[in-house]
Each structure stands twice: as C-alpha cells, then as structure tokens.
Amino acid sequence: MTKAARVTVGGRRNYAMVMLLARLGLRAPEVIAMQLDDIDWRSGEVIVRSKGNRHDRVPLPPDVGEALADYIKSDRKTASRALFVTERAPHRPFKDGQVLNLILRGAFARSGLKPPAPYVGSHILRHSLATNLVQRGASLEEIGDMLRHRCQASTMLYARLDIDGLRSVSQPWPVAGGAK
C-alpha cells in the first residue's frame, strides 16, 4: 500500500494498527494497550502487554516501525502516553479493541474483497499470519512463539490447516495380525 493510500484508506493510525495485527499477530486488546514507551526504536523491539499481565518483547519489523513512525510524526496529537488515540479531541485512548473490528470491516467493504468469514474481526489477521506460517513450513513451536501462546494446544489448532504437511509425516496405521 502506498503512503498516499494509507492516508485516504483509514489514515496512518488505522494503517499502523492493522500492521501490528497482521505482521506481529497481535490481539486487538494488545494493540489498544500499547504505550509510546513500549517501542524501543534503538533495539527494534516493542513490548506487548499480553493476556495474564504478561509483557513480551517482540521484534519490530521495519515496515511496521515505519507505519508507526509515520502515524506518530504526522497524525498523533495528544499528551497521552497511549500510542493509539481517538481522532477527535480530546484524543483519548480507546476503551477496547472493538475499534479495530470496525476498521477491518470498513477496509473489506472499501476493497470489495469478500471476508473469509461472515464476522470480520481483528482475529482474522492473527489467524491469517499463523496459516501463512504453516504454509511456509514453520514448525508449530515457531508459530506458538510468534503468537505468544502459553499452551501448545492453542497452536495445535493451526496444524489442522496443513493436512498435506501432516500426511507427509504420518506413519501407516498398524493392521491386526501384523499384515502389511
């Protein structure tokens, strides 16, 4: 997406929020909870305030960093330490992640693309990232690390998406009496 398109299609703020969802696999509440101080520009990392009061450091890809910097320099006008704030004064932090669902619904409508599910929510981008990683051959452990899953059972949901990959490592089912 070009810089000009970012401004006309939802603005720099919306673009930066969607990039965090799509490229880092963040959950909507994690994006909304971000603070300016969570970005470590020198080390290229961002702190993610996850479920269960966890704080994880994750790499900040250059394209996501650029989207964040564009938003902060050009559009963000507030003394609040919250990274993402409302466009209208008094520029307050968002109450919850529902704003991201509205942004995505609007983006699908403007693009003319059919959403992959009737309900368009921010979790679609997290799921898409995991599916893409499976298709590129990432291990379930790598996917779990990327999505910051605490339990491998959560990551196992994505294994069913790679049926061909699972077939390639499956063993033949044993037959009664040892027949081949």
Positions annotated as catalytic residues are 27, 51, 123, 126, 149, 158
Contact 97, 28 (CB under 8 A): yes
In whole angstroms, how far apart are CA 141 and each of 128, 130, 153?
17, 11, 11
| Residue carrying the six token digits 């690390």 | 145
pLDDT of 148-160, one tens digit each? Answer: 877 777 777 765 6
User: Can you tell me the distance from the alpha carbon of 82 to that of 85, in angstroms, rounded to the nearest whole number?
Assistant: 7
Q: Does domain 3-169 have CATH number 1.10.101.10?
A: no
Beta-bridged to residue 59, according to DSSP, are 45
The pLDDT tens digits of the residues spanning 3-50 come to 544 444 348 999 999 999 999 999 999 999 999 999 999 999 999 998
